[in-house]
Amino acid sequence: MTGINTSSHTGDPLLDFDVAKVKEDFPILNQTVNGHPLVYLDNAATSQKPQSVIDALVGYYSSDNSNVHRGVHTLSQRATDHYEEARSKIRRFINADDDREIIYVRGTTEGINLVAQTYGRENIQEGDEIIISTMEHHSNIVPWQMLCQERGAILKVAPIDDSGELLLDEYEALITSRTKLVSMVHVSNALGSIIPAKRVVEIAHAHGVPVLLDGAQAVAHAKVDVQDLDCDFYVFSGHKLYGPTGIGILYGKADLLEAMPPYQGGGEMIRSVTFEKTLYNVLPHKFEAGTPNIAGSIGLGAAVDYVDALGMERIGAYESGLLEYGTELLSRISSLKIIGTAQEKSGILSFVMDGIHPHDIGTILDAEGIAIRTGHHCAQPLMDRFGIPATARASLAFYNTKEDLDALAKAIDRVIEVFS
């Protein structure tokens, strides 16, 4: 597996990436659906898994399956080594400073809930404020609403413009002496907008406010460096990064994590327990109560190895080329409107069509073997902002091709035909 044509650079990222070779690493892509070769364009919902990730899962269960941090026997030590090696790989992948800052969680949703229930409960009092943006996924809205309800705190929403760009001045104007946290999506799942995350953090920090970034749609598509971003928390899901479901990462700066109370109580998160008192374990174990998703962590480590070998910069360049190509194709369809046209965009093509419900678009595309997502994308307030109930969304990964996008455009012509 390399997928990178290093011998003859053409300067065209679409040509410099050997996508045919890369696709061979993803067995699921080699099938027909409804009589057509599968075109998988639902990568923002979940991405497909390379053989190396599947092998890592099978390898773990075939050779090493055992509980971690508990046994002196060989299998347990092997499982623990692999589990902790994966943590180190993930730490390097996002350039965190220390393995202690990498907390295994179930996914983005659990990572945000963890921060809300620990940092939030500890630091947010009546009348305090939390700032999010219009573009949030429900998982970066509801946990804060729950906390605000409990505490009598206030949730403020930074607006966006019609292209889907965050209005930085209006965001800054929302910050007051009562603002205790900013929690924002790094890349919008419904629009593809990439927020100026570094600037968002700088502005918040200038007011002494910590920042959580929801990186669910960012980590698989561009190099993320948490130290460069200087964010205080960063969360993402393994399954959108070519890894297994049920595993994700909460990154937090060590001093913040140290000061936070634990999330759940149970085994593993303790140093000692008596009926009178429990002493908590050190980081990261303080936040990892119970038997963790060992196979998932190891699988995520293998996914990180895979994308590292391809190179995040090359992945980003290739996907940008694809996005440009797809945007151009869809823009030619007069009855179609792209929702989300920010200057800085990740590989998401959300669109609506005159008089045709997105679900009908999705159904007809499925009959052509094309998988997209339709609906509100768990971002209902964002749909309200655009005055629409739903969009059809094609979302890209590095194993997609220009031909996939040609097939999408052709199938959209078919949708128009059916409804004319």
Active site residues: 378
Nearer to ligand C6P, 140 or 297 (CB): 140
Q: Where are the beta strands (DSSP E) in 140-293?
A: 154-158, 179-185, 211-214, 233-237, 248-252, 270-273, 278-280
Nearer to ligand C6P, 13 or 215 (CB): 215
Residue 179 Cβ vs ligand C6P, minimum distance, rounded to whole Å: 22
Residue 108 Cβ vs ligand C6P, minimum distance, rounded to whole Å: 4
Residue 106 Cβ vs ligand C6P, minimum distance, rounded to whole Å: 7
108 near ligand C6P (CB under 6 A): yes
Which 358-377 residues touch ligand C6P, going by CB under 6 A? 373, 377
Calpha distance 73→129 (Å, rounded) = 50
Closest chain position to ligand C6P (CB) = 189
3-state secondary structure of 365: helix
Calpha distance 9→262 (Å, rounded) = 50
Candidate ranges 118-126, 150-158, 194-202, 210-218; the one touching ligand C6P (CB under 6 A) = 210-218
Nearer to ligand C6P, 17 or 171 (CB): 171
Calpha distance 217→108 (Å, rounded) = 10
**Euclidean distance between the first and the last CA atom of the chain, given in angstroms as a whole number:** 46
49 near ligand C6P (CB under 6 A): no
Residue 16 Cβ vs ligand C6P, minimum distance, rounded to whole Å: 28
The number of angstroms, rounded, from the C-alpha of 287 to the middle of its chain's C-alpha atoms is: 20
107 near ligand C6P (CB under 6 A): yes
249 near ligand C6P (CB under 6 A): no
378 near ligand C6P (CB under 6 A): yes
Q: Are 239 and 46 in contact (CB under 8 A)?
A: yes
Calpha distance 95→53 (Å, rounded) = 22
109 near ligand C6P (CB under 6 A): yes
Residue 163 Cβ vs ligand C6P, minimum distance, rounded to whole Å: 18
Calpha distance 289→329 (Å, rounded) = 49
Q: Where are the beta strands (DSSP E) in 253-390?
A: 270-273, 278-280, 336-339, 348-353, 370-371, 373-375
Question: In 3D, which of 91, 102, 122, 96 has the Cα closest to residue 292?
Answer: 102
Nearer to ligand C6P, 341 or 374 (CB): 374
214 near ligand C6P (CB under 6 A): yes
List residues near ligand C6P by CB under 6 A: 44-45, 107-109, 137, 139-140, 185, 189, 214, 216-217, 237, 373, 377-378
